[in-house]
């Protein structure tokens, strides 16, 4: 069949039979290359104030027995579990309640629990609350709790309870004491108790070892121990003319 060319020829190209067959085959059976599906990324849920409270929460209850209060305080801290079942799973404090038979301090206890619960739900780093509470001092004076640990106020002991709870759920990590330091503390304590057992050999040691504990105080360290400035525990003893803490290993001699 003749084709009439009505326009001016500007160029030409030789088309072979196999060149015509290739486009026809491509149009007859188009091949669709499927892209590999990208793996879906799980959404990591962070703590924020608009997070709804689940029906059930896990928590812990601590008992505080203070000489400043007639009745004990029971501190309950409930946690929310975020991203359960994933590698991002974590427990965060969600709310706190304080219960007691003593109604004299009902107002500030309720106010404290509401403020703390609001801070928990706000999200972010809430560990700063521990230091803020432990820094509160009672103008009437503090007290020693069981084990010889000094508490400057009842609010400070609530802070200590909150600190212990955060350690239990992994929000706060204590630097671990080395085995050599533990062995040194055990050796110091054994040596100090051995010196105190020798009555009459050293008047100074005998008088310290024979000191009576304060009323209501339970000692876990040698009687007559002084309070350590580092760990606030009555575990500081004088050995070899050097003040040494039998609880944390602190020594004024370095």
Same domain, yes or no: 84 and 150: yes
**Local confidence band at 157 (pLDDT 50, 70, 90 cut-offs):** very high
Burial class (CB in 10 A: 0-12, 13-18, 19+), 251: middle
188 compared with 24, residue with greater pLDDT: 188
Same domain, yes or no: 99 and 154: yes
Instruction: Give the integer Cα–Cα distance in Å for 176 and 211.
Output: 32
Same domain, yes or no: 157 and 192: no
% of residues, the chain, pLDDT over 90: 30
Residue 27 within a domain: no
End-of-domain residue from the set 111, 146, 169: 169
3-state class (DSSP) for residue 187: helix
Residue 110 within a domain: yes
Mean pLDDT computed over every residue of the chain: 78
119 compared with 13, residue with greater pLDDT: 119
Find the domain containing 215 and state its range: 179-245
Residue 146 within a domain: yes
**pLDDT tens across 2-31, in order?**
777 777 777 777 777 777 666 666 565 555
120 contacts 104 by C-beta, under 8 angstroms: no
CA 235, 241, 242, 246 dihedral sign is negative
Least-confidence region, from 111-125, 166-180, 193-207, 237-251: 193-207
188 contacts 239 by C-beta, under 8 angstroms: yes
230 contacts 250 by C-beta, under 8 angstroms: yes
Residue 105 within a domain: yes
Same domain, yes or no: 71 and 138: yes
Same domain, yes or no: 124 and 160: yes
Rounded to whole angstroms, what are the CA distances from 68 to 30, 58, 72, 161?
Answer: 86, 30, 10, 17
227 contacts 248 by C-beta, under 8 angstroms: no
The residue assigned the tokens 């026809």 is 24
Q: Would you state the structure tokens that stand for residue 50, as one six-digit string?
A: 């608009």
Check residue 230 and report its DSSP letter. T
Residue 41 within a domain: no
Strands 234-239 and 226-227: antiparallel
- What is the rounded average pLDDT of the residues 133-146? 89
User: How is the beta sheet containing 226-227 ordered, strand by strand?
Assistant: 226-227, 234-239, 242-245
Same domain, yes or no: 237 and 158: no
Residue 23 within a domain: no
Residue 218 within a domain: yes
- pTM here is 0.62
Domains in the chain, number: 2
- What is the rounded average pLDDT of the residues 174-202? 68
End-of-domain residue from the set 112, 144, 169: 169
**pLDDT tens across 57-116, in order?**
999 999 999 888 888 999 999 999 988 888 888 899 999 999 998 888 889 999 999 999
Residue 40 within a domain: no
3-state class (DSSP) for residue 75: strand
Q: Would you state the structure tokens that stand for residue 204, as one six-digit string?
A: 């100074």
**pLDDT tens across 201-239, in order?**
444 433 333 444 444 445 567 777 777 877 777 777 777
Burial class (CB in 10 A: 0-12, 13-18, 19+), 147: middle
Same domain, yes or no: 104 and 165: yes
End-of-domain residue from the set 151, 169, 187: 169
Q: Would you state the structure tokens that stand for residue 86, as one six-digit string?
A: 């994933």
């Amino acid at each position: 069949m003749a084709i009439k060319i009505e326009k001016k020829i500007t160029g030409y190209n030789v088309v072979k039979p196999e060149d015509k067959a290739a486009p026809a085959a491509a149009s007859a059976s188009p091949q669709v290359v499927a892209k590999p599906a990208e793996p879906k990324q799980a959404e990591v849920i962070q703590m924020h104030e608009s997070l709804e409270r689940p029906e059930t929460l896990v928590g812990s209850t601590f008992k505080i027995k203070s000489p400043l209060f007639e009745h004990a305080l029971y501190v309950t801290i409930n946690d929310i579990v975020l991203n359960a079942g994933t590698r991002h799973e974590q427990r965060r404090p969600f709310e706190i309640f304080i219960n007691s038979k003593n109604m004299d301090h009902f107002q500030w206890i309720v106010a404290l629990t509401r403020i703390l619960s609001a801070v928990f739900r706000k999200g972010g780093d809430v560990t700063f609350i521990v230091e803020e509470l432990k820094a509160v001092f009672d103008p009437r004076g503090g007290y020693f709790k069981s084990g010889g640990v000094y508490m400057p106020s009842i609010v400070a002991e609530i802070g200590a309870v909150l600190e212990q709870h955060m350690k239990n759920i992994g929000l706060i990590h204590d630097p671990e004491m080395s085995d050599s330091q533990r062995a040194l503390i055990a050796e110091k304590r054994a040596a100090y108790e051995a010196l105190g057992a020798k009555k009459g050999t050293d008047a100074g040691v005998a008088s310290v070892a024979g000191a009576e504990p304060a009323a209501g105080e339970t000692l876990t360290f040698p009687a007559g121990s002084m309070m350590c400035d580092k760990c606030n525990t009555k575990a500081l003893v004088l050995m070899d003319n050097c003040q040494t803490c039998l609880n944390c290993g602190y020594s004024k001699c370095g």
